[in-house]
A and B are shown apart, each in its own frame.
Chain A
Amino acid sequence: MADFSIVGTRYGRIDGKDKATGRAKYIQDLKFPGMLYGKILRSPYPHARILNLDTSRVEGLMGVRAVATAGDTPNKKFGSYRSGVKDELIFAKDKALYVGDEIAAVAATDEETAREALSLIRVDYEELPAVFHPEEAIKPEAPRIHEDAEKNIASHALTLRGDPDKGFREADLVLEERFETGLQIHAYLEPVGCIASWDSNGKLTIYAPAQNPSWSRFIYSEALDLPMGKLRVIQTMIGGAFGGKLEQKQYLVAAILARKCRRPVKIVNRRDEEFQTSMPRVPMVVYLKMGVKKDGLLTAKEHRIYADNGAYTKYASAVLNLGTYRVDGLYRLRNIRNENYLVYTNKLPTSAFRGFGNPQITFAVESMLDQLAEGIGMDPLELRLRNAAEEGDLNAHGFKYVSCGLKDCLKKTAEAIDWQEKKKRKNIRRGIGISATSHVCGNRSFFPLFDGATAYARVDEGGKVRVLTGEVEVGQGLLTAYAAICAEEMGIPLSEVTVEAPDTDIAPFGLGTWGDRGTFIGGSGVKLAAADAKRQILEMAAEMLEANPSDLDCREGRVFVKGSPQKSLPFEEVASAAVYRRGGSPVFGKGTFIPASELSDSTRYGNISGTYAFGAQAAEVEVNPETGEVKVVRIAAAHDVGRALNLTTTEGQIEGATVQGMGYALSEEVRYEKGIMLSPNFLHYRIPTALDAPPMKTFLVETTDPGPFGAKGVAEPAMTPTAPAIANAIYDAVGVRIRTLPITPQKILEALQKKG
């Protein structure tokens, strides 16, 4: 193991003090002079024609400064980047397609006036029949939601690898099951908000907790018919995102209002709006068929998924068509048929959420793995180890596993949960289950022009280093990781480095935080930038010390001559010399990292990520067979992270993701009645509390990886195995298998009663 002074330890977060003292400012805390407050009028019907919209009564209300409707927008349809579908408008014009669809908006001097103004807008609707489930919506007799989408199909894709029919013929056991997962709401604690402001030259600035400030501008540019150069996004501190803070319609509405009244406009979602209009995890119905031989070799896998797009296409198509085949590489499957239907429904549009389709499909596959194991009389752990991917594999979809710690992860979690012991001694109420996962670290398919990251490291005359990145801190500790990478690379103390949240006018174009790419890709860019800055510093020091730059190094803030370390200078002194002797120019390091990934072809074959992350989790549960109550006794999680840049934040990511996975498995459920979300609040949408979270043991499996100091991503994969591990543990405990999420006590009790 190489000797690092910062990387791989437990250094504190660089933003920790601000957050612990209440100094950290989020969008809700910002206020500008002359700022107005915006509120959005939303459709109360899931499917309705908009016959008439009358805002005349609003204009007279004191305090209202602007009213906006579809007439104030370019009315150009736009869509999420690369989804291939453009089905959205800023304000619904002819039809409202879900309860929550934006119809109009007002800006006023205070929130109460804005709310009152909304109530004065008269809209005449003609209610239309609506449909709420993808399997219903795809029927020929279902109401048509978008004119150009027959059978409400937003996308259909079929992927074929190898010969699945042959694979099924060769199997000794073939199983077919139906699984269903539901809406999962991100439930980040900070509601989405923004402040939009135009300058006198027609340039728009959006202040917002944006996960992808640079490229979200593509969408805003199209929707507003505004050149990219006139669009600036300044990322504010983010209070949790998990994939839910990508492009927001709200920002466009604020922009339209702000343009109309020529004043900054702030809009912040109320929590019920958050639930009703956020872009939750894509619900999927998965028909899964898998085959296995007596000796444990998996021979074929076929899935047919009906995914719920909601009323408009956001990232659901990518979630479905990219996210659901990561699981195929876990067990070296070669014969695969994946058929994906993305179907519109009259509900809120679904989109990206940590795991990006992986949790949904992995729940199905990993549940079935246990069923197959039981069917051939093999231990579920053994079946997994028998088929597990290894370093050097090229999977059926063209993913190159340059590093892979999957088997280690499986073994470690099994050991931590006392797998062998527990399997021998059966306790009637307790059970253990295991599950594995594989994930990308970045995804080439998203942005064809490049997949990578650029960073700058700016050293000023005081010797302080400022890292400029286009990637985004959502709470995961990214800025801290970048500061550590930079400090480690340059040989200076962590305290000398700050990392700026992106302002798109200044920061490099960054693809943002998603796809588990922040550390592996963004961090690599930072390392290169730091190396470049260091090179320039050493060149300056070489002059000052009369040595050759190649004979110099920097450690703990001192530049010294290797071999005669007493010949040294403080970093700060070299930096100030560099600035002053070069006409005031700061030392500017620049680094660009392009991972060894490739664009996939039209069949989605290709090595879309520079490296892949693996993990496994095991859960022990106690089920009360009289009440169906499930208590998660403990969870062991082992993730192949390459190298953990910061042990604490890496563990924190795994622990947080696991508890989200637990909520997904057991308690988080959205209920609808006639298209209206029942109880859109935290009282009824239950995320785990401190009393629910189980004790978690985390193992960081380190492999040799091409990432910065060997690191790869962990944030996303850590959420995926939890639900299936719990489902498998429940089966182990009481012998019932629930194939729909969440697994509620009621479902367990009913299943037990049916079992007799």
Chain B
Amino acid sequence: MKVTIHLTVNGLAYQEEVEPRRTLLEFIREDLELTGTKEGCGLGECGTCTVLLDGKPIKSCITLAVQANGREVTTIEGIERPDGTLHPLQQAFIDHGAIQCGFCTPGMVLSAKALLDENPKPSELEIKQAIAGNLCRCTGYQKIVEAIRSAAEGS
């Protein structure tokens, strides 16, 4: 039996009927067709499914869509400006070589955004702790940390 949920995704209000067992990731990728959020492992161990729930990073593959009822979800598609200008973090990732294959990027950027929204001048350790749940196999993390630091300094 489906459950009606009301939630905001990237600033837009939705009212949808979902099966209780539908994960938030499935809802985002399949029902809303926002494919920027990725499925890397399905068990909440890699972080590529990270989205923001009321501004806080969570792993959407192990969260049920019904848990997002009445809340605000932000995906990678929701952080650029309406006129298409990139969020400073997105620009910093591009400028600092923090993107290689790009698969971890959406989750990584959102974890970083949540950090900077709460702690605008994080230390290097705080940056690493904030993204420790986002695995990256390509970059070795150094340029990701540099990009986040640069975005923090620029703000």
Contact = CB atoms under 8 A, between A and B. Distances in A.
A20 B41 contact: no
Given A12-B94, A189-B38, A271-B40, A648 B143 contact: yes
B46 A682 contact: yes
A689 interface: yes
Interface in A259-296: 270-271
Interface string B29-58: 100001111111111011010000000000
B60 interface: no
Which bracket fits the contact residues of B?
A: 35 or more
A26 interface: yes
A21 B36 contact: yes
B100 A476 contact: yes
A649 interface: yes
A11 to B, nearest CB: 10
B17 interface: no
B75 A26 contact: no
A20 B90 CA distance: 6
A690 interface: yes
A19 interface: yes
Contacts of A691: 128-129, 132
Nearest to B45: A682
29 contacts: A13-B94, A13-B97, A15-B102, A19-B102, A20-B93, A20-B105, A21-B90, A22-B36, A22-B106, A26-B103, A189-B104, A189-B136, A238-B101, A239-B38, A271-B42, A474-B101, A475-B100, A651-B97, A681-B43, A681-B45, A682-B41, A682-B135, A689-B133, A689-B135, A691-B129, A691-B132, A693-B140, A695-B142, A696-B142
Interface stretch (A222-230, A410-418, A489-497, A653-661): A653-661
A644 to B, nearest CB: 12
A16 B99 contact: yes
B135 A189 contact: yes
B68 interface: no
Contact of B139 (A20, A187, A652): A652
A240 B43 contact: no
B115 to A, nearest CB: 12
B3 interface: no
A691 B141 CA distance: 9
B26 to A, nearest CB: 10
A271 B41 contact: yes
Interface of A: 10, 12-13, 15-26, 28-29, 186-191, 237-242, 270-271, 474-477, 648-649, 651-652, 655-660, 681-683, 687-691, 693, 695-696
B40 A696 contact: no
A239 B145 contact: no
With a 10 A CB-CB cut-off, give which of B109, B127, B138 has the most chain A CB atoms: B138
A242 B137 contact: yes
Contacts of A681: 41, 43, 45
A23 B140 contact: no
A22 B136 CA distance: 16
B76 interface: yes
A16 B92 CA distance: 11
B134 interface: yes
B127 to A, nearest CB: 8
A471 to B, nearest CB: 16
A649 B136 CA distance: 15
Given A16-B99, A681-B45, A690-B134, A655 B143 contact: yes
Nearest to B144: A690
Contact of B140 (A15, A26, A475, A658): A658
A656 B103 contact: no
A22 B34 contact: yes
A648 B75 CA distance: 27
Contacts of A477: 100
A651 B104 contact: no
Contacts of B140: 652, 655-660, 693, 696
Contacts of B35: 22, 25, 28-29
Contacts of B136: 189, 656, 690
Contacts of B34: 22
Given A20-B109, A239-B103, A648 B138 contact: no
B95 interface: yes
With a 10 A CB-CB cut-off, give which of B37, B97, B101, B109 has the most chain A CB atoms: B101
Nearest to B89: A20
B97 A240 contact: no
Contacts of A22: 34-37, 75-77, 106
A29 B30 CA distance: 9
Contacts of A17: 86, 90, 94
Nearest to A242: B137
B131 interface: yes
Nearest to A657: B140
Given A26-B103, A271-B41, A682-B45, A656 B139 contact: yes
Contact of A240 (B41, B76, B95, B103): B103
Interface in B68-117: 75-77, 80, 86, 90-91, 93-97, 99-106, 109
A189 B99 contact: no
Contacts of A191: 39-40
A23 B90 CA distance: 13
B143 A240 contact: no
Nearest to B108: A690
Contacts of A240: 100-101, 103, 137-138
Contacts of A270: 42
Contacts of A24: 102
A21 B101 contact: no
B99 A19 contact: yes
A113 to B, nearest CB: 15
A659 B41 contact: no
Contacts of B128: 690-691, 693
B94 A188 contact: no
Nearest 4 A-B pairs (CB), nearest first? Answer: A22-B36, A475-B101, A19-B102, A239-B103
A695 B124 CA distance: 11
Nearest to A15: B102
B102 A239 contact: yes
A609 to B, nearest CB: 24
Given A237-B102, A693-B141, A21 B86 contact: yes
A480 to B, nearest CB: 10
A22 B104 CA distance: 10
B95 A12 contact: yes
B42 A475 contact: no
A190 B37 contact: no
B75 to A, nearest CB: 7
B43 A683 contact: yes
Contact of A187 (B96, B127, B134, B137): B137
Contact of A20 (B29, B42, B46, B94): B94
Interface string B137-155: 1111111110000000000
Contacts of A696: 140, 142
Contacts of A648: 96-97, 143
Contacts of B42: 270-271
Contacts of B135: 187, 189, 682, 687, 689
Contacts of B43: 271, 681-683
B59 to A, nearest CB: 12
A19 to B, nearest CB: 3
A191 B66 CA distance: 27
Contacts of B77: 21-22
A462 B140 CA distance: 40
B155 to A, nearest CB: 17
A308 to B, nearest CB: 23
Interface in B5-47: 29, 34-43, 45-46
B41 to A, nearest CB: 4
B97 to A, nearest CB: 4
B137 to A, nearest CB: 5
B40 A190 contact: yes
